[in-house]
Amino acid sequence: MQRLIPTGDAARPVAFTEVPQPVPEPGEALVKVEAFAPNRGETFLLEHPSPGLLPGKDIAGLVVQAAADGSGPDTGTRVVGHPAQGGWAEYAAVPTHSLAVLPDGIDSARAAALPLAGITALRLLATAGSPAGRRILLTGASGGVGHYVTELAVGAGADLTAVTATPARGERLAELGAEVVHDVAEARGPFDVVLESTGGADLPLALSKVRPGGTLVWFGQASRTPVSLDFFRLLDGPERVTIRHFHYAGAPYGPDLSALVRLVDQGRLHPEIGRVTDWGRTAGTLVDLRERRIRGKAVLLVGGGR
């Protein structure tokens, strides 16, 4: 079968290679991949790929071999999955605890756009607490996580302010009901919760906008600039603020995926997909994703997809 592997070349970060089809472990199903969606964080890993790196965490396709231990979906079932790696290939072995069954109304392209960003959004909001009636500030809101957080939080009754780099990236978030600003300094606090994902100078500024006793959840550093906090400046800011570190990872992912699929099927969640193309164009798509030339998710179709 064909698989995409890292090259270490920034201009063409992946290339095709021929490899044996994966042999699933007893608790894994073999999935014929129809579509996959790279994440911007994966483009950073490809800059200096570690030995043995096999990218690919967001996939959708068809189970062609059910798990030997009897767990998970049967052969012939359409699924969305979140394997630890190896999804940019014709076939992937996926733990059954990280699969969810797809209804006929959700195609593989939309399904592939769900896993990492959608799981992160669900778990981030669970960490922050019920959004209903709360004022929330979301930084770095331009990507997939920002889209899902905005739609879910506003749909649950939050008053959400989203920070995006450009007006074009904020248009969809405004349509979803967010107040959109383009600099953290423009956000009108105080906020009950700040969801901060850019790092650098933005985190201290966002922290200053939290109400006394409020919470800042730090879930990323998209600026790739370390954060520095001045204790004495905090004394002049809001009191008793809690800072929480958040990382989405931790299997099983199946329940989260099932919840996301259900929300999409009910018309309550709408993946924003900025590009759908053949996986022969993965290398160029990864460069465009890294350089923020794609609004929303990028989805690559394997063998025509569905």
Contact indicator for 17, 3 with CB cutoff of 8 Å:
yes
pLDDT per residue as tens digits for the range 228-273: 887 777 777 778 899 999 999 999 999 999 999 999 999 999 999 9
- What single-letter amino acid sits at 15? A
- What single-letter amino acid sits at 117? A
Percent of the chain with pLDDT over 70: 99
Helices (H), the chain: 40-45, 108-112, 115-128, 144-155, 167-175, 202-207, 231-234, 254-265, 282-290
3-state secondary structure of 127: helix
Kindly state the tokens that stand for 172.
């969809």
Contact indicator for 119, 45 with CB cutoff of 8 Å:
no
The yes or no reply on domain 2-114+271-301 and CATH 3.40.50.10190 is no
Contact indicator for 192, 186 with CB cutoff of 8 Å:
no
pLDDT per residue as tens digits for the range 262-301: 999 999 999 999 999 999 999 999 999 999 899 889 999 9
Pairing of strands 191-196, 135-138: parallel
pLDDT per residue as tens digits for the range 185-242: 999 999 999 999 999 999 999 999 999 999 999 998 888 888 888 777 777 777 889 9
Return residue ranges of the chain for CATH 3.40.50.720.
127-245
Return residue ranges of the chain for CATH 3.90.180.10.
2-114+271-301
The residues near 59 (Cβ < 8 Å, ≥ 6 apart) are 31, 33, 35, 36, 37, 80, 81, 82, 83, 87, 92, 94, 112, 115
pLDDT per residue as tens digits for the range 77-136: 999 999 999 999 999 999 999 999 999 999 999 999 999 999 999 999 999 999 999 999
- Asked if pLDDT for residue 306 goes beyond 50, the answer is no
Q: Quick one: pLDDT at residue 240?
A: 85
How much is the mean pLDDT over the chain?
94
In this prediction, residue 304 has a pLDDT band, given cuts at 50, 70 and 90, of low
Domain 127-245 is classified in which CATH homologous superfamily? NAD(P)-binding Rossmann-like Domain (3.40.50.720)
Phi, psi of 22 (to 5 degrees): -65, 150
Q: Quick one: pLDDT at residue 305?
A: 42
Rounded Cα distance between 215 and 242, Å, is: 5
